[in-house]
Chain A
Amino acid sequence: MKWLTHLKWLNAAKTPMFGILRIAYKLLVNDRAKFMALLVGIIFAVFLMVQMTSMFSGIMARASATVVNIGAKVWVMDRSVNTVANTIPLPDYTLDEVRSIPGVKYAVPLYSGGALLKLHSGDYQAVNIVGLDDSSLVGRPHLVSGNIQDIFAENAFIAIEDSEFRKLENPKIGTDFELNDHRGVIVGIAHVASSGLFGVPTLYTTYNRALQYIPNSRFTISYLLVEPKSPQDVANIKKQVAAAGYLALSQEEFMQKISNFYVYQTGMGTNMLLMTAISFIVGLSISGQTFYTFILENLEKFGALKAIGAKSHELVMMILFQATFVSIIGYGLGVGLCALTIWLSKLYLPDYAAIIIYRNLWIALGMVVIIAGISSYFGVRRVLRIEPFDIFRG
């Protein structure tokens, strides 16, 4: 802790307030037990809050993996679709209907559905099959080995090398498998931006082969992927699609719809909110109580400072500085610890879904500010109430 007591910028400062803040700083860090307790409280709270919200963000990101990976600007679907995985097939004529809307540059069908593979070892493995439009291959993944043209070869599939890839027994080009008594062959290995939520590998093939290999209902199109001629055309496309009884959403809107489903209709959002709130309360309890005790222990000294000639606003600044300092250090360490935990977890658990995004960091920072604010509020109140006369009276 020695290094903390020699901050050069505080030492060099010539403004009166800096000297006072340096006293505040020393009072805080030299009381190591309380300083550590305060830090642990904040770190613990930040860690839990960032961890919870990061897990939630990770799950949400994975829930929209297909939307992100395909990358179409506008998605047309049945109005009852809640998530990308729960498709409601569209009639084939909707493709022509959408293509005829003014402002549509092109529209292509997409197949997305589940299937059961019989691997080379004889084991079965559930997979997600994505069928790309045969003529355009819109939404094709980035190949790291193989040739995209080979997707048109007989029985051809492209395997996505993500955290689930090993479940396909780490296939190579030429590895074959069975899908509903059809032979399938891996002709390429590709990468995508995001892995799926449900822990199953993903295979890409052509739309027609997907229909051929997987038993289907009367209607077969999972989604229509639409490229508008210009961003201004999107509104009209959405309007026309709605008039036809379907739903057109931009990529962001579709992701938000999926997110809303998980947040509001599965209980996941409530659970995450509860856990985050509990983390906040735990952090507030530990840090608030410790900080308040710290202030109470120094209350007479603050009174003595007042008697000597310190002004109330200077004492308030001391307390706010202490609360802010411990919060910033605790926040940084808490975020660092969380990042380390997620990194280590992903090393050993490739499926681990947590991702730290700026929004989560802002949320945690906001909560830390509230913790610091509430903690210091009660301390400030006590310090403002103490009268120098009380010090004389003992």
Chain B
Amino acid sequence: MPAIAIEASGLTKWFGADETKTFAVRDFSFEAYFGEMLFIVGPSGSGKTTLLSMISGILRPNSGSVKIENLEIWSLSTNAIADFRLRKVGFVFQDYHLFPRLTTVENVAIPLILQGRNWDEAIEEGRKNLEVVGLKNRADLPPVKLSGGEQQRVAIARAIVSRPDILIFDEPTASLDGDTGRSIVAFVRDNILNDKRCIILVTHDDRILSFADRTLYMQDGRITSIEQAKAHEK
């Protein structure tokens, strides 16, 4: 039995108050395991992003708890949560959010620089991680010179550069064509996922669901079903 990476219990989040009060996530509980690639799938407005934000230490829930490696993250101070995200969680955003005025390798090195690593060491580590995602020869180019798929790989390199235990992917294929999207997720599954890492991926792209170990289906802020991947699909 793999170790539990994330344990979310009774997570509830609403926005607004009184008549405008809207529940984004209601009493949501689940566990994610190391070595697992967990997909969260649902239509727009189903609460996927809100859930992702709460389990990654970005959005404080109204009730419920999130334990990562047995640490209740929402008991931490704001700065401690920021530190926690910096060291334990890697993010890959839908629009990549790379700085166009920095080189590719500088973008990758940002988490290490934020951790206080020496600039040259961080850049060197960034180059190694670009090599992992197959973009070593693009290191000194600005991100705008890269294709969408390459930029997504740079974002992945940035997410893994600090060797986080948890990787959060927010709609990673939304800005990519079908083939590129599939190849990116396949690359992540084959090269980034390992026994000491848990990957949570939010998507509504049906074409990549076959890469999940488990898929949580959401609607109106609740789990509607959990689907375990068949062995042949992995």
B-binding residues in A (CB < 8 A): 10-11, 13-16, 18-20, 22-23, 26-27, 30-31, 298, 300-301, 303-311, 314, 387-389, 391-394
| Docked CA distance A16–B102 (Å) | 18
Bound Cα distance from A122 to B68, whole angstroms: 101
User: With A and B bound together, what is the CA distance between A154 and B10 in angstroms?
Assistant: 111
The reply to whether B101 and A31 contact each other, CB–CB distance below 8 Å, is yes
Indicate if the CB atoms of A394 and B95 lie closer than 8 Å: yes
Q: How far does the alpha carbon of A389 sit from the alpha carbon of B53 in the complex, in Å? A: 6
Q: Which of B34-42, B77-85, B189-197, B218-226 contacts A (4 or more CB under 8 A)?
A: B77-85
Q: How far is the CB of A198 from chain B (nearest CB, A)?
A: 55
Which residues of chain A are within 8 angstroms of B91 by Cβ–Cβ distance? Answer: 304, 307-308
Whether B49 contacts A308 by the Cβ 8 Å rule is no
> How far apart sit A20 and B118, CA to CA, in the bound complex (Å)?
11
How many residues does chain B have at the interface if contact means C-beta atoms less than 8 Å apart? 36
Q: Which residue of A16, A31, A301 is within 8 Å of B114 (Cβ)? A: A16
**B213 in the interface (beta carbon within 8 A):** no
Cα-based distance from A18 to B86 in the complex (angstroms): 17
Q: Contact: A308 with B85, CB < 8 Å?
A: yes
Q: What separation, in Å, do the CA atoms of A14 and B59 have in the docked complex? A: 32
- Least CB distance from A112 to B in Å reads 64
Query: What string of 1s and 0s marks CB contacts (under 8 Å) between B82-120 and chain A?
Result: 111111010101110111011000100011011111111
Check if B170 is an interface residue, CB within 8 A of chain A: yes
* Distance between Cα atoms of A49 and B89 in the complex (Å): 50
Q: How long is the Cα–Cα vector from A309 to B81 in the complex, in angstroms?
A: 8
1/0 contact string of B120-149 vs chain A (CB within 8 Å): 101000000000000000000000000000
In the complex, B188 has a CB within 8 A of chain A: no
CA distance A13 to B122 in the complex (A): 13
A6 to chain B, nearest CB (A): 12
CA distance A314 to B113 in the complex (A): 12
Q: Is residue B58 contacting chain A, with contact meaning CB distance below 8 A?
A: yes
Given contacts A307-B91, A389-B53, contact A30 B114 (CB under 8 A): no
Q: Are B110 and A392 in contact (CB under 8 A)?
A: no
| Contact call B101/A26, Cβ cutoff below 8 A | yes
- B101 near A308 with CB under 8 A, answer no
Which of B93, B99, B106, B113 meets A392, CB within 8 Å? B93
Cross-chain contact A16 with B115 (CB below 8 angstroms): yes
Among candidates A30, A300, A307, residue contacting B102 with C-beta atoms closer than 8 Å: A30
Which residues of B, 30-70, contact A by the 8 Å Cβ criterion? 49, 52-53, 58-59
Q: Residues of B contacting A22 with CB < 8 Å?
A: 113, 119
Check A19/B119 contact, CB under 8 A, given A304-B93, A393-B49: yes
Q: Is the beta-carbon distance between A19 and B94 smaller than 8 angstroms?
A: no
Q: Quote the shortest CB–CB distance from A277 to chain B (angstroms).
A: 34
**Chain A: minimal CB distance from B168 (Å):** 9
Cα A387 to Cα B59 with chains together (Å): 9
* B35 CB → nearest A CB, Å: 24
Q: How far is the CA of A300 from the CA of B93 in the complex (A)?
A: 11
Chain A nearest CB: distance from B161 CB in Å?
10
Q: What separation, in Å, do the CA atoms of A388 and B170 have in the docked complex? A: 13
User: Are the C-beta atoms of B52 and A309 separated by less than 8 Å?
Assistant: no
Report the Cα distance A314→B122, complex, angstroms: 18
When C-beta atoms are compared, the residue in chain B nearest to A310 turns out to be B114
**A391 B113 Cβ-Cβ under 8 A:** no
Given A307-B85, A392-B52 in contact, is the A23-B113 Cβ separation under 8 Å?
yes
Quick one: which of B83, B99, B122 has the most chain A CB within 10 A?
B99
The answer on a CB contact under 8 Å between A392 and B86 is no
Inside 8 A of B170's CB, which chain A residues have their CB? 392
- Chain B residues with Cβ below 8 Å from A306 are 82
Set of chain B residues within 8 Å of A393, measured between Cβ atoms: 49
Known contacts A308-B110, A309-B83, A389-B59: A19-B116 contact under CB 8 Å: yes
Q: How far is the CA of A282 from the CA of B92 in the complex (A)?
A: 42
Q: How far is the CA of A391 from the CA of B96 in the complex (A)?
A: 10
- Shortest 4 CB-CB distances between A and B: which pairs? A309-B86, A16-B116, A304-B97, A19-B113
Write out the residue numbers on chain A whose beta carbons fall within 8 Å of the beta carbon of B114. 16, 19-20, 305, 308-310, 314
Known: A19-B114, A304-B91. 18 other contacts (CB 8 A): A11-B120, A16-B114, A18-B119, A19-B119, A23-B113, A27-B99, A27-B101, A30-B101, A300-B95, A304-B97, A308-B111, A308-B114, A309-B84, A309-B115, A389-B59, A392-B52, A392-B93, A392-B94
B102 and A27 form a contact (CB under 8 A) = yes
Q: Is the CB of B106 within 8 A of A26?
A: yes
Taking the closest CB of chain B, its distance from the CB of A389, in whole angstroms, is: 5
B58 touches A23 (CB 8 A): no
Asked whether A388 lies within 8 Å of B58 as measured between CB atoms, the reply is yes
A23 near B102 with CB under 8 A, answer yes
Residues from chain A with a CB closer than 8 A to the CB of B113 are 16, 19-20, 22-23
Q: Once the chains are docked, how many angstroms separate the CA of A391 from the CA of B97?
A: 9
Q: Are A311 and B79 in contact (CB under 8 A)?
A: yes
Whether the pair B99, A298 counts as a contact (CB closer than 8 A) is yes
Query: What separation, in Å, do the CA atoms of A30 and B53 have in the docked complex?
Result: 32
CB distance from B4 to the nearest CB of A (A): 23
- Residues of B near A16 (CB, < 8 A) are 113-116
Q: Would you mind naming 17 contact pairs between A and B with Cβ atoms under 8 Å apart?
A: A22-B113, A22-B119, A30-B101, A31-B101, A298-B99, A307-B93, A308-B85, A308-B110, A309-B84, A309-B86, A309-B87, A388-B58, A389-B49, A391-B93, A392-B58, A392-B94, A392-B170
